[in-house]
Chain A
Amino acid sequence: MNTLNSSTAPAAGEYAGDEVSAIVLDPGYSTIRAGFAGEDVPKSVCPSFYGQIEDSSQYLFGENAIHTPASNLQIKNYWGSDGIVEDWDTAAKVWEYAITSRLTGARAGDPARNGLNDDPKQENGEATDVDMETIENQEKPLEESPLLMTEPGWNPTKAREKAIEIAMEEWGTPAFYLQKTGVLAAFASGKASGIIIDVGASHTSVTPVLDGMVLKKGVQKSPLAGNFVSNQIRLGFKQSQPEIPLTPHYLVKSKTPVDAGSPAQAIYKTFSVPPTDSFRHYQEERVLTEYKESVVEIWPGPGRLSNGTNEEIAKSMPGRPFEMPDGWNQVFGVDRFRAAEGLFDASAALTDDANPRPKDEHTLPRLVQAAVQHVDADQRPLLLQNIVVTGGSTLLYKFGDRLNYEINAIYPSTRNKLIAPGPVVERKYAAWIGGSILASLGSFHQLWISRKEYEEHGANIVEKRCR
């Protein structure tokens, strides 16, 4: 299939000119979303976390591998703290795993044997061996699929060049394009202009988009996102009296019901060599995720939680019970409002030595304000009518209410409009869905950077073509 020439009529097999086999890859801090363009949800959602056996270069990818306690298994993430990929070698491997394991399966075998975990020489030999009589003889995982990748709004040139290098050199993709998550999330909601508020795991970003172009200088980012909320919950547990124990599932053999607040009576598992701290941390995150889903609530306004009698009102609201994996349980009253208040009100964040008070300008209202200020005054109303909310952390209960209140407090207008898709998948995978839409547009074909162009101009072409 010739995907590069946009002037020829699409073959009958291609529905409305869709390039059905294009792959959309949307790597995030917590998960990597990958799938075929034209579909409505990514088929492959893999954790960005990977396991590494200590003192060896053996990597473990995928859900199945990183949840089994082992004494020397370190759980790592390839993202740097600034929201830019740090460990490129591993990133490429994890991404490749996300694509091959659930989408193409180009290489036979499971992760232990499919070559991802061996040295590259071996894997090529094995692949050609197995694929002898297959329909298409693939040596590289993406030889027949154009690839659309997403990037954060603040991605530096070097990282962008690295991305196209990996796609072209390592995966052998015939065509490539790089697009910012903000634009794609706007597309997913059917908007060409708007403000995209994306609260992910490691970062919150606010991106002003005008006519499908990101206003680069307006892009705001802050570390106050899902992981920050997790830390706030941990702090809350630690500071409560008595301290709330956070025991991940793998430590518990079986539990027995206990009264609220009383110590857990569980049978714990014993390990001759306890799993690493990073493993425990990762497993604790699972419990915290459950806590976020079922307990945490954001003070919906009006006003901040600390304002006037708001806290009293919050106290009178019904609490929500939560049970730890070891059976310890309690009803959480006003505490559950405090966990995420820091996203909106820096002064309300819980702090200790390791977790200093967040900066005021990192809170959501201030980010939105800063982003809007970079836009010409006459275009601000247009943007404020299209405030797209996306990212997994925006699923916190009452998040939208509070955001709506905060924005209206800064820009009082009846026309401000929050666009927050109801279905959870659309919220979580907005950027991917936008990518899926974009890559399946017939008119998008002319945007692809073809292999030929890459070979001619080098990696720097990505700067010229993908704006």
Chain B
Amino acid sequence: MPPFKDEQIIVSPASPVFTFSGALILLKQIIAPGSETTVAQLGLPESFTPARLRVRSRMFPAEKEGEWEPYKIRRRNDKPEASAAEPQDGAPGSGENKTNGTEEDVVYEEDRVSEEGAVWPIQEGKIVDWSCFFALITHVYNALNPPFHTPILLIAQPVWTPKEHEKLTQFFFEKFKTPAFGLMDAALASSWAYGVHTSTVVDIGKDKVDVTAISEFIPHIQGRVTSLGGCGGEALTQALFAKLSSRSWSREMCEQLKKSPICEILPAGTPLPGTKDVGEEETITNLAAAASTGAPGSGPAAASTIGNVPRGPGADTEVGDDNNADEEGVLDVASIVTGGKMEEYLAKKEKEKQEKANAKKKGGAEAAAAANANKPVRLPNSKRAKATFLYEDHRLLDNLKNMNLGSEKLAEMQNQLDEGPQRHGESANGETTSAAEANGHVDANTNARSGPIRRELEVGTERFQAASSGVLEKIADAVHRTISSVDEVNKRSELWDSLIICGNGSRVRGFKEALLAAIQSKYLISPSSATMFTSEIPSNISTPTGTGANTPQPQLGPHGGAPSHVNPLLYAATTAQTQHLMPHNPTSHLPGLSHNAHSSHGQTPTSIKLVKPPEYFPEWKDVGFDESAFLGAQVAAKVIFVVDQGQSKGYMTRPDYNDQGPTGIHDYAL
């Protein structure tokens, strides 16, 4: 096996002369709260960046049984030229239309946004549908389109069993003819990313949480908690859903609420806003806050406003109009539209808007004054009783598409239904028009509504209660169990001191802090007051004189050397670190037993800390280390494929595979 050379990687892959040897990293992982995503990357840049390719981990059943398509294929009975001009795709110019026989009037089109009928081959980290999973991997592989000499490093979910590793090995070698293949445990990868050899990795996924204790780069397989169900990002969504379903919110709405920056998990004991006097809080819409917090995932609209002057409250503020807003916000527009009542709906909305505008004009002066007064205050999200966010209504779009409208009609309807900031730019007649809105206005015209339909939704304090269903406690318990199951008692303390909370389920604002607080409040052992140095000063010691003559000398006690005159606890505390001074000098031939030989606390944890994320990955710093497993894999790929030239046996080569077969992977897996 020729080693994979570093220079080859630094050289631009565009140069065809070189054998390309960038590592392809495939990471099966769970991403962006609540969505399962596969991320992958071809080649190792000099500075590690977040994954270049992100694919939703789902496939769609193709027409033929057992075959899979990466995108939803829709059947259209439309005229072919209409479909060719179809603007609804998020990735323009990628040739999304697969016109399948124009001679008939049946046209198949790919719909890259819709997820109707998708099959998700990975659930709770486990591969539940192998044929679909392999299809997904093939799709990812083809999307990267790697040259022939590309080694592959695959991040393995902790819950995958050795037998499944073998299956995967066989697949990669035989399907892709890869020259080298490595498997890396996701938790281990995270610890590589953070650059710590001992850590407890808490990976918060979509439906599950994995907790792994790693010491000296070796995961403790026996006690690790894998695939702990019901406490990932999905559980947070469900908790929101439980709270909001009574107001006829859909699950999808809750999902997007969770991803929006207004959803936050407050530290235990923080009073919910609105429980006290609700005065000015109500009058602030959150769009500005959404932009200024800079949290990811609030849609292109928010992104476009970042960097511009945030819109102050005013234009869209709906003062005292809560009931109305509620009703309107959660109406099932999708069914209205499919029911053919769209015109009525739009008319109603228009009317409401007029009313509001009138109301505003009436109290014009005061309202403006109030708005101005509010502007500088700008309460943090956690203090506001209500906030709004933009909801992208995929279902509505799906429904529109299914109605088989002409493309122009579709675009028009999309435009009408969309409530993104652009719309507001149009309708904000004469009121505060900021630069952001002016931009937005232009966008609205040029973009021609290619994305999903957005609607503004308002939500109360429910948005702080995503973790109210005991998710944090469950995870905390899992962490405690994992660390307690580490056999070497003396390693536990270090494990508690190096928690890594990663995974996209932990992206919700405040989640990590809240989880850490939950663990600390439950498991932290406080220094025992009995071991403090206040008690039992032996009475036969006289006050030390200036000469030091009366300073008590340590004396050896009768048994094992514990000094009898000094408070034994004091002695224990002071000698805890120095092995040779230990009173119970373990002369036994049982070295394993000396682990808890002497320290004032055999019990752990006496402190619980998070590991500080690494400083030297600027690109990662910007997006956060939630996908640290991928970063770790990049580091590992660099090390095992390039730096040590295969010395560490971090990957299996094709000759190895030919010799040993799939079972050989266990000798190589990291």
Residues of A at under 8 Å CB distance from B? 12-13, 20-21, 36, 39, 41-45, 63-64, 67-68, 100-106, 108-110, 130-135, 249-250, 252-255, 257-261, 286, 289-290, 293-295, 300, 313, 316-323, 325, 327, 329-331, 395, 397-401, 404, 418, 420-425, 427-428
List of 4 A-B pairs having minimum Cβ-Cβ separation, nearest first: A294-B602, A260-B530, A105-B161, A257-B526
What CA separation (Å) do A260 and B601 show in the bound complex?
A: 14
Minimum C-beta distance from A198 to chain B (A): 16
Contact A260 B602 (CB under 8 A): no
Contact B126 A330 (CB under 8 A): no
Within 8 A of A (CB), among B465-492: 474, 477-478, 480-481, 484-485, 487-489
Within 8 A of A (CB), among B595-651: 595-598, 600-604
Contact B562 A106 (CB under 8 A): no
Listed by A's residue number, 16 A-B pairs whose Cβ atoms lie within 8 Å are A41-B221, A63-B225, A64-B225, A64-B227, A67-B481, A101-B161, A108-B128, A109-B126, A110-B229, A300-B588, A316-B564, A319-B569, A321-B528, A329-B528, A422-B591, A427-B592
Contact of B559 among A68, A313, A420, A427 (CB under 8 A): A313
Contact A13 B589 (CB under 8 A): no
16 other A-B residue contacts (CB within 8 Å) besides A12-B659, A249-B477, A249-B522: A13-B663, A106-B163, A108-B127, A130-B129, A135-B170, A249-B523, A250-B477, A257-B529, A316-B568, A317-B562, A319-B530, A321-B530, A325-B523, A395-B592, A399-B590, A423-B592
User: How many residues of B are counted as interface, with CB atoms below 8 angstroms from the partner's CB atoms?
Assistant: 78
Contact B130 A134 (CB under 8 A): yes
Which chain B residue has the least Cβ–Cβ distance from A46?
B222
Within 8 A of A (CB), among B156-173: 160-164, 167, 170
What CA separation (Å) do A202 and B482 show in the bound complex?
A: 23
Contact of A318 among B127, B572, B592 (CB under 8 A): B572
Within 8 A of A (CB), among B556-580: 557-560, 562, 564, 568-569, 571-572
What CA separation (Å) do A399 and B593 show in the bound complex?
A: 9
Contact A254 B522 (CB under 8 A): yes
Q: Which residues of B contact A318 (CB under 8 A)?
A: 562, 568-569, 571-572, 583, 598
Contact B659 A13 (CB under 8 A): yes
Contact A41 B558 (CB under 8 A): no
Q: Which residues of A contact B164 (CB under 8 A)?
A: 105
Contact A323 B128 (CB under 8 A): no
Q: Which residues of A contact B170 (CB under 8 A)?
A: 135
Minimum C-beta distance from A94 to chain B (A): 16
Contact B163 A424 (CB under 8 A): no
What CA separation (Å) do A423 and B488 show in the bound complex?
A: 8
What CA separation (Å) do A101 and B125 show in the bound complex?
A: 13
Contact A323 B525 (CB under 8 A): yes
Minimum C-beta distance from A405 to chain B (A): 11
Contact B126 A103 (CB under 8 A): no
Q: Which residues of B contact A286 (CB under 8 A)?
A: 481, 484
Contact A290 B521 (CB under 8 A): no
Q: Which residues of B contact A134 (CB under 8 A)?
A: 130, 167
B661 at interface, CB cutoff 8 A:
yes
Task: Tell me whether A103 and B489 are in contact in the complex, defined as CB-CB below 8 angstroms, given that A64-B229, A318-B583, A422-B590 are known contacts.
Answer: no
Contact A43 B162 (CB under 8 A): yes
What CA separation (Å) do A320 and B484 show in the bound complex?
A: 19
Task: Tell me whether A290 and B603 are in contact in the complex, defined as CB-CB below 8 angstroms, given that A105-B164, A130-B129, A130-B130 are known contacts.
Answer: yes
Q: Which residues of B contact A329 (CB under 8 A)?
A: 525-526, 528-530
Minimum C-beta distance from B490 to chain A (A): 10
Contact of B163 among A103, A260, A398, A422 (CB under 8 A): A103
Q: Which residues of B contact A102 (CB under 8 A)?
A: 161, 221, 226
What CA separation (Å) do A465 and B592 show in the bound complex?
A: 37
Q: Which residues of A contact B568 (CB under 8 A)?
A: 316-319
Using a Cβ cutoff of 8 Å, how many contacts connect chains A and B? 195
Contact B596 A421 (CB under 8 A): no
Minimum C-beta distance from B239 to chain A (A): 16
Q: Which residues of B contact A41 (CB under 8 A)?
A: 221-222
Contact of A293 among B481, B489, B526, B571 (CB under 8 A): B489
What CA separation (Å) do A286 and B481 show in the bound complex?
A: 9
Contact A293 B602 (CB under 8 A): yes
B460 at interface, CB cutoff 8 A:
no
Contact A133 B487 (CB under 8 A): no
B664 at interface, CB cutoff 8 A:
yes
Q: Which residues of B contact A68 (CB under 8 A)?
A: 474
Minimum C-beta distance from A59 to chain B (A): 16
B101 at interface, CB cutoff 8 A:
no
What CA separation (Å) do A103 and B664 show in the bound complex?
A: 15
What CA separation (Å) do A286 and B531 show in the bound complex?
A: 24
Q: Which residues of B contact A300 (CB under 8 A)?
A: 588
What CA separation (Å) do A101 and B38 show in the bound complex?
A: 24
Q: Which residues of B contact A250 (CB under 8 A)?
A: 477
Contact of B528 among A260, A398, A418, A420 (CB under 8 A): A260
B660 at interface, CB cutoff 8 A:
yes
Q: Which residues of A contact B660 (CB under 8 A)?
A: 13
Minimum C-beta distance from B647 to chain A (A): 20
What CA separation (Å) do A258 and B526 show in the bound complex?
A: 9
Q: For A250, A300, A397, A423, which residue has the most chain B Cβ atoms within 10 angstroms?
A: A397
Minimum C-beta distance from B612 to chain A (A): 26
What CA separation (Å) do A63 and B222 show in the bound complex?
A: 11
Which chain B residue has the least Cβ–Cβ distance from A399?
B593
Which chain B residue has the least Cβ–Cβ distance from A65?
B229
Contact A103 B161 (CB under 8 A): yes
What CA separation (Å) do A329 and B481 show in the bound complex?
A: 21
Which chain A residue has the least Cβ–Cβ distance from B575?
A318
Contact A294 B601 (CB under 8 A): yes
What CA separation (Å) do A225 and B522 show in the bound complex?
A: 30
Encoded as 1 (CB less than 8 Å from any A CB) or 0, chain B from 520 to 550 comes to: 0111011111110000000000000000000
Contact B124 A317 (CB under 8 A): no
Q: Which residues of A contact B560 (CB under 8 A)?
A: 317
Which chain A residue has the least Cβ–Cβ distance from B174?
A135
What CA separation (Å) do A252 and B523 show in the bound complex?
A: 10
Encoded as 1 (CB less than 8 Å from any A CB) or 0, chain B from 113 to 150 comes to: 00000000001101111110010000000000000000
Q: Which residues of A contact B193 (CB under 8 A)?
A: none
What CA separation (Å) do A250 and B223 show in the bound complex?
A: 19
What CA separation (Å) do A122 and B663 show in the bound complex?
A: 31
What CA separation (Å) do A398 and B130 show in the bound complex?
A: 51
Which chain A residue has the least Cβ–Cβ distance from B569?
A318
Which chain B residue has the least Cβ–Cβ distance from A289?
B484
What CA separation (Å) do A92 and B163 show in the bound complex?
A: 21
Contact of A133 among B131, B484, B597 (CB under 8 A): B131
Contact A398 B557 (CB under 8 A): no
Q: Which residues of A contact B222 (CB under 8 A)?
A: 41-45, 425
Contact A255 B521 (CB under 8 A): yes
Contact of B590 among A36, A42, A257, A420 (CB under 8 A): A420
What CA separation (Å) do A175 and B223 show in the bound complex?
A: 29
What CA separation (Å) do A133 and B661 show in the bound complex?
A: 19
